Chain A
């Protein structure tokens, strides 16, 4: 081991006698091959800088969970923003309406009062009754004043009692004033209930599709200040049916649940897709595979050039055999340990940006030194192997480059032209 390191050190020093001695035997060439293997494996250790990223990068399932969480958060934020905007607009609107109403009241209250008095005097009692029936709320006094002037029907009286929210004594008093008996008002209420039931029967398919009880629907109607008949009228005005509206509302209300269900199914499938060894351990194992194969990829990058170099060197009087030539080129890779950081992947996602940049440029600087050193050593080993001077070796290298990257493409072009012409 000590001797091997000493030999390695002498190769790095470009010592001709060491290189010559190694290239004269099969064992020396085997040493060169092993040296190349070890050196490129050391350089390939740079791949292991990818371990933190491999461990830190989320798995597919984690990424999906993250996506779902972000989607939920986004939806929640969007809904909150929309609600906030609506509330703001509504608040502004109400404020504006209140302001305008107050201003109107302040400026025209006298005129309005006079107009109402004139309407009451000259507009007729029936118009006053119709105006009252159209309202959603009224005071008992208003009802009393109107009933005193015009006699409503039992149905109209029932409506007036409801909007005035009259108590039992008030009801009795108003009924007496209107000349309506309790049995007549009861019959009117029965009729109203029957109409409501008929309207509800029409709306029942919609409630069924929404899985909603009558009480829940009534609560909604109260909130909307609407009657089942009105809802039916709205649906009819849309030229559609309660069934269709029910389906649409059910689909809209079920969408979040269905999305959750779909997300759960996708997650289950993604879990099933995970490698048996787990995603992160698999990444590490595959990183190991890349590292083990790094000498082969390094060799593959240069093999064609190396063989072409041999042909060119032999054609200008080079004396090395194929094995000696390959050994010489393998020895020239001795400084390749400097490529260690050049193999390191981008580390910006695991290290602070300045540190990652420092590592990156360290790799570039060391690799530059390594390339220059390897190049000079290649000149030396080729000159020793082929028994030629350094300048001639340089010429051989240049000629090989020209042959591979200029002459060969041109020759291929001419050959293709000849064959296809």
Chain B
């Protein structure tokens, strides 16, 4: 069997009890965040129990999410640099085409008609090239910074929102766990994001579907360990936040869309006609 360091020394004839004896062990010093994340990635249930039983599980969870986000953000920056080394450089072509287009009589006419056209054209041109680079899989600084920022915001936001909703549902099913414990264990469920680190190697990609499904599995383990509910209840608690968020998003889209359409004069007039005809 593998020993505590994870080395593969499995003896098939050993009993399961023998492996359980090596399993963490009470009285050992608390493992660090990276060790916890590593074990979580290998689907060990022990890290969830450690965080759940921590004196300050919420604070520990925050540190865990912070470490995950920091590692991934730094990895993305390194990935940008290494990707830049191996990706075709389009800057020269971009500049050449820009100067060609700005030399056209059409461009001069547009600038004459609207002095703001030059700025708008330049912004659109730059955005177009950024989009092209992203489409071709070439790294760009803007995209990298955007991904990093959105990663930080969405990870912390999702972590907190999911923990709130899941905890609320679990309490409804009779769980006695504290909110801080849910926060702490759910933080560990973001460990699969660390797989994004392999993107530092140019050409390596991580399927987002895998990340989502892995996080679904780790969230299940986190909720199961924290709230100790039955399998159907835990599955319900796991799915409920997604369902709630999906319903809210659908309602926002519906009412937002309806409000937006009502602001359009053409639609407003059409609605008035419809109301008149309905009378």
Contacts and interface: CB of A to CB of B under 8 A. Distances in A.
Interface of A: 1, 3-4, 6-7, 10, 15, 17-18, 20-22, 24-31, 33-35, 60, 269, 272-277, 281-282, 285-290, 292-293, 296-297, 299-300, 303-304, 307, 311, 314, 321-323, 326-327
Interface string B1-32: 11110101111111110011011100000000
A30 B39 contact: yes
Contacts of A22: 1, 10
Nearest to B213: A303
5 contacts: A1-B8, A3-B9, A28-B19, A289-B205, A300-B207
A281 B82 CA distance: 12
Contacts of B96: 269
B44 interface: yes
Given A31-B2, A288-B203, A300-B207, A273 B89 contact: yes
Nearest to B87: A275
Main secondary structure of the interface of A (DSSP, over half): helix
Nearest to A330: B43
A288 B221 CA distance: 33
B198 A293 contact: yes
Contacts, number: 176
A129 B278 CA distance: 106
B7 to A, nearest CB: 8
Given A288-B203, A327-B43, A17 B13 contact: yes
Interface string B83-100: 011111111110010000
Given A7-B8, A15-B12, A292 B198 contact: yes
A24 B20 CA distance: 8
B2 A286 contact: no
Contacts of B42: 26, 29-30, 33-34
A83 B193 CA distance: 69
Contact of B43 (A24, A29, A282, A285): A29
Contacts of A307: 213, 216-217
7 A-B pairs with least C-beta separation: A289-B203, A24-B16, A286-B203, A25-B19, A4-B8, A289-B204, A282-B86
Nearest to A24: B16
B46 interface: yes
Contact of A297 (B4, B93, B207, B231): B207
A249 B69 CA distance: 68
Contacts of B224: 322
Contacts of B190: none
B177 interface: no
B210 A296 contact: yes
Given A273-B89, A286-B202, A34 B6 contact: yes
Contact of B12 (A10, A34, A323, A326): A10
A29 B44 contact: yes
Given A21-B10, A25-B19, A26-B45, A322 B217 contact: yes
Contacts of A327: 43
B190 to A, nearest CB: 17
Contact of B1 (A21, A287, A299): A21
- How many B residues are at the interface, by size bracket? 35 or more
B220 interface: yes
A297 B15 CA distance: 34
B101 to A, nearest CB: 16
A287 to B, nearest CB: 7
A287 B216 CA distance: 30
B10, B14, B214 interface centre (most CB from chain A within 10 Å): B10
A26 B44 contact: yes
Given A274-B88, A275-B85, A303-B209, A326 B43 contact: yes
B252 interface: no
A285 B207 contact: no
B206 interface: yes
A247 B201 CA distance: 56
Given A4-B9, A282-B85, A326-B43, A296 B19 contact: no
A128 B20 CA distance: 128
B195 interface: yes
B162 to A, nearest CB: 18
B1 A27 contact: yes
B20 to A, nearest CB: 6
B12 A24 contact: no
Interface in B176-227: 195, 198, 201-207, 209-210, 213-214, 216-217, 220-221, 224
A119 B10 CA distance: 123
A35 B7 CA distance: 11
A272 B204 contact: no
A30 B6 contact: yes
B221 A323 contact: yes
B1 A25 contact: yes
Contacts of A296: 195, 198, 206-207, 210
- Among B16, B22, B235, the most chain A Cβ lie within 10 Å of the Cβ of B16
Interface in B50-94: 82, 84-93
A275 B8 CA distance: 41
B12 A21 contact: yes
Nearest to A9: B12
A200 to B, nearest CB: 38
A3 B204 contact: no
A20 B17 CA distance: 12
Given A4-B9, A300-B210, A303-B214, A292 B85 contact: no
A323 B85 CA distance: 40
Given A25-B16, A276-B86, 19 more contacts: A1-B8, A7-B12, A21-B15, A25-B20, A26-B24, A26-B42, A27-B3, A27-B4, A28-B19, A31-B10, A33-B41, A273-B93, A282-B87, A286-B203, A292-B201, A296-B195, A296-B210, A300-B213, A323-B45
